[in-house]
Structures are given as structure tokens and as C-alpha cells.
Amino acid sequence: MGRAAMLAAGLFLFSANLAWAQELPANSLPEGTFATEDGCKKLAAKTPAELGVDFDFEILTKKGLLANQQACDFVNVYTHDATSWVATAFCDEGGYTYPDLFSIKQKDDGRLDVTRFTDLTDQGSKGSSTESDTEDSESSNEPPKASGDGKSGQAAPEDEQAAESNSTFAKCQNVKP
């Protein structure tokens, strides 16, 4: 009798979990192309490839984010509720690849507020190892350098630190295919 009750409870929880998962699919981001209002006007007449140097804005779709010389493909999109998501992305910018994290919230007017957290800190070394830094400091009688950054006691340059950016995207009604 105890096993039957336990099995029934397990089946109930399993079916409830399936119903919840079906209600909120993993990538339920809104359909369409999103950009700034000016960007939407440009996309009505030309594709991003045709824009060339006039491609000075970001485009957001269910697949990811596209900008001039930058592409971020969403790897995972997690639904928080019906109007908010968290997405992890694999980004490529001028041959430099890095992970990125997006928080996306749909406003009442349909626009998307996107907060992006990019960690561009250099965790590894740039061609020199900690071992060679130690050897250099031992032979020159200088204090050892901090591991990885080559600069003892100094913060990474501004362009190598973590960055957070906020953007608002409107849905583009007419986009040239």
C-alpha cells in the first residue's frame, strides 16, 4: 500500500513537472526582429550586409544578437516567466570569442529591455606563463608579478574588465528579407 501511494505521488509530481515545462518552453522569446527605432527604419530598406558602415546598431532575435563585426548566438535561453528570460551566448567579435550573459524583460508596450553582462577580463596569460614570470623576477631580484596579468597590484585595463550594458529594443514591423 505504501509503495502504491509513493508511486502515485511520484507520477503526480512527474506529470505536474511536464505540464509546467510545456507551459513555459525554454526559448519562448518573442518572434521577430528587434532593434532601435532608427535601426528598424534602416532594416526596412536594407539587410545588415547591405548596410555596411551604416550598420551602427544592434539587432536582437530569438537566435541571438547581431551588430557590426559582432555576433552572439544564444546557446541556452531560460524562461523566468512569460515576459522575462536569461540567455547565455557564444559571441565572436573580430575573431575574439567569449561567453556572454543576457537578461531580457519584455515591457508592457512590447519593447525588450536587455541587460548584458560581458566578462572580458583576461584570466589567462598573454603568451607568458606564471613560471616564466617567476623565473624572470628571480633572476632580476624584482618582486614576483601577479599571476596572469603581468602587472603586480594593478587592475586590468578598462577595456579588459567586466562590462554591463543596458539597451531597449523595439520590434521592427518591416524588415527586408
Look at the alpha carbons of 53, 54, 59, 63 in this order and tell me if their dihedral is positive or negative.
negative
Shared domain check, 105 and 46: yes
CA-based radius of gyration for the chain: 24
Bridge partners, residue 113, by sequence: 105, 168
- Roughly how many angstroms between the first and final C-alpha of the chain, as a whole number? 62
- Do 114 and 149 have their domain in common? no
Say yes or no: 135 and 99 in one domain.
no
**Over the chain, what is the mean pLDDT?**
75
- 88 and 40 in a single domain? The answer is yes
Rounded Cα distance, 34 and 112, in Å: 8
Q: Could you tell me if 67 and 29 lie in one domain?
A: yes
163 pLDDT band, cuts 50/70/90, is confident
Note down the domain range covering 72. Answer: 24-120+165-171
Lookup: cell for 41: 527604419
The tally of domains found in the chain comes to: 2
Task: Name the grid cell of 147.
Answer: 599571476
Does residue 146 sit in the same domain as residue 80? no
What is the per-residue pLDDT across 36-62, written as a single tens digit (0 to 9) for each?
999 999 999 999 999 998 999 999 999
The residue-averaged pLDDT of 66-71 equals 93
Residue type, 140: S
pLDDT of residue 2: 52
Q: Tens digits of per-residue pLDDT, 111-141? A: 999 999 987 665 444 443 444 444 444 444 4
User: Is residue 31 pLDDT above 70, yes or no?
Assistant: yes
Q: What is the DSSP letter of 140?
A: H
User: What pLDDT band is residue 8 in, cutting at 50, 70 and 90?
Assistant: very low
Question: What are 53's three cell numbers?
Answer: 558602415
Decide if 144 is inside a domain. Answer: yes
Residue 10 lies inside a defined structural domain of this protein: no
Give the mean model confidence (pLDDT) for residues 163-176.
Answer: 91
Same domain assignment for residues 43 and 128: no
Confidence grade of residue 165 (pLDDT, cut at 50, 70, 90): confident
Q: Is residue 136 part of a domain?
A: yes
Q: 176 or 6: whose pLDDT is higher?
A: 176
108 part of a folded domain = yes
Supply the DSSP symbol for 127: S
Residue 59 lies in a domain: yes
The grid cell for 19 is 505540464
Q: Answer whether residue 14 is part of any domain.
A: no
Same domain, 115 and 38: yes
Contact 119, 162 (CB under 8 A): yes
Helix (H, G, I), strand (E, B) or coil at 154: coil
